[in-house]
Each structure stands twice: as structure tokens, then as C-alpha cells.
Structure 1
Amino acid sequence: MNDRSSNRPQRSSLWQKCTSFRALKQVHAFMVVNGFNSNVSALREFIFASAMVISGTIDYAHQVFPYIAEPDTFMWNTIIRGSAQSLDPLNAVSLYKQMERRSGKPDSFTFPFLLKACTKLSWVKMGLGIHGKVVKFGFESNTFVRNTLIYFHANCGDLSVASALFDGSARRDVVACSALTAGYARRGELSVARQLFDEMPVKDLVSWNCRIQYSPPRTN
């Protein structure tokens, strides 16, 4: 009789060597044959590898994910994140709807990935709906979530909301400053953008690029 517990160290070493789609399918087959297809740790590694690590395997993650009986929040976040970064970020929103239907529990990492997908798609209505979910679950004061909300609203045109979020932030870091500065610069409100830039305690590459791109040319 085969002792499956002895295969656990082998699984970890196999994941380290899993760098291609072919290898991914082989490791997945190993999981199924050896009874790891219901093991939370193994499933987390599989979803992370297929959605985030190995190029071009996000579709395979989408095929397998519905067969996971009870995905935990890490699995949901990982496949939503991978989908948001893919060529078809709409899948991230579809997955979140599935998460709701399957009684998944979003956390402070879930919503930034969704907001970035909505920003890439310029999907204002859905982004506003996600903002509502953020408020409902009490994550609006989370710095990571709040910065992504500012980024979404600044990119999708509602600078009044982005500015209100920024003004209400307990911690106005360079990420939030850069997002709001870029939003005002794109709108053509260069004086406001310059003021925000000048008030930044620390400037990053994004803020400097924005400053250079939207600065008027010097005249002799």
C-alpha cells in the first residue's frame, strides 16, 4: 500500500522545478493521483504557480478553479490578482462575483486587485460598485485599499472623490500623492498638480515622470 504522506516532501520539490505549462500539468496530475487535490497547502501552491508565476497558464488556473470545493481567501485573491494583471482583466471581476456566490470572504487584498482591473478596463460603474463593497466591509481606512481607490478615481475621471479620499487619509504617502498628481495633470489642471508635487515629502519615479511630462516647455 502506497503511503501518501511520504510524497509530501516530493511535492514541494516538484513545485520548485515547475517552470513551464507542461511541468505544471504534470505536477497537477501528480496532485490528483496522490490525493493532494483537496489539500489546502497544495492547492494554494498550484493556484499561485498557475495564476502568478508561470507565464501563459492563467487559463489553466481558470479551468481548474471551479473544481476546488472550498477555495480559501488566499486562493481567491491569487487568481483574482493574476486575472487582473492578465490580458483579460474582466475575468477578475467575474471571479469576484463567483466568490460572492460561493460565500467567499474578501479581505483588504481582494479589492485593490479588483480596482486595478476596473481601472485597466475604464469600467467606472463596476469600480464604483467595488468602492461600495469596500465601505460595506470596512476597508476604506486601510492604506493599501485607500491608495488604490484614489488611483481608480483619479484615472477614471472623478477627481473630487479622489481628492476627498486623499484629504481624509491619515497617512498621505507617495503612492497616493503620485496617483492624484497624475490625475490632475491629465485633466490639465497643472497648477494643482504642481502644488501637490511640491508638497510631496518624498518623490518617486512616477511623480517625477508626471512632473516632466506635463511641465510646459521652457522659453528662451
Structure 2
Amino acid sequence: MSSQGGTEIAPANRDDRRDLRAEIRFDVNRSDCPLAATGDEDVLTHQIIEDVCYVVSDAADDDPSVRQTGTVMDGCCPCSIFRHHGCVPVLTSVDGDTVVVTTYLSDRASLRSLVDELRTVVDGVSLRRLTGPTGGEFSDVRSANLSLLSEIERETLTRAIEAGYYDDPRRIEFGTLAQRLDVSKPTLSQRLRSAESKLLLDLLGE
């Protein structure tokens, strides 16, 4: 691992096989990522250059120019988490504060570690889709076998599904869902993380 600014960075290998393709959704409203500042602007591109996270977006409907925003990555930017894990975040969609990113990982342990660390800086982290090396795909918890879950996990996930947390676009935000279920955000995050992990492994047949 190399170190830059006190943070260990996963080394870049010239031939680094990545078998898992993951689409990860999260909210950027409490992060320092410049994606949080785009508002209703259409995001044209998002790129990390050295230690800076750049976003280029349309300035306004009646303005032909674009707006470029750059923020030096720190521990509160989700892009720094992807960089820390040696993953390239490819922006898939932006809907208000909700972002979907596609990235590639070598194994399930790497995915778990990435998701766990993302949850320390952003809310509403959920796995939208995961494609495995054998072609198995996890794509929708709404059609999964919930009997694999504990009673509290099943109840939490069912209510999250009913509230539209897993809809696209999402019909309820993470904080609002926690309030509705009368639990803290860390508790809700832990229950959803545990449930998603069990369903993920079952649907991928691993």
C-alpha cells in the first residue's frame, strides 16, 4: 500500500483482474463531494485527477456554458473511499442527492469492505446491482427470498421496500426511513447491510 496525505492507497497493478461489477447507490447530501452541489444541474462528467474530484455540469437551461467544480478529496468525500480501495467510480446517474456509481472489484470481501467504509461518510448506501464471475446477478431485493433473513431483518427490509427505498428513483430518503421505523440511522444501516449481504450471497449462489 502506498501512502499519500496519511491515507493508505491500494496499489495499482497493471494486470488486476476484477470479477465483480457492482452498482452502488448512496446519498451525497452530507458529504464534501462536489456532486452534492450540482442541485438540479445535469451532470456531464465526473472524474478524479490526482487528489481532486471534478464535476462538470450544465450551468443553466438558458446558458450554453458549463460549470466545473473541483474539491480536494478528504475523508468525507465518497470518491476518496473508492480511491482508497483501488476502485474506479464510474458515475451512472444522479438524481438530486442520490448517486449511482458503477465500479469493479476482485472479490466479495473487497465489496464488503468498500460498502462498510462508504457508510461511514454517506447515507443510504445500498447495492443496486451486482454481477458475479459466473454471470449470476443480484439486481432487486424486492424479488429476493426473504426467508433467509432474521425476523427483524425481514421486517426492516419489507418496510423499506414498501416505502419505496429500493425503487428507482427512490421514493423515500434514508433519514426519513429511519424516522418512520423509529430507529437510529446506524441501526437501520446495520440491519439493511446484514439483510442485503445475505440476499446477495444467495442470489449469486456463492
Instruction: Answer yes or no: same fold by TM over 0.5.
Output: no
* Higher fraction of helix: 1
* Higher fraction of strand: 2
- TM-score by structure 1 length? 0.28
- TM-score by structure 2 length? 0.29
Larger radius of gyration: 1
Of the two structures, which has the highest relative contact order with CA contacts closer than 8 Å and spacing of 6 or more? Answer: 2
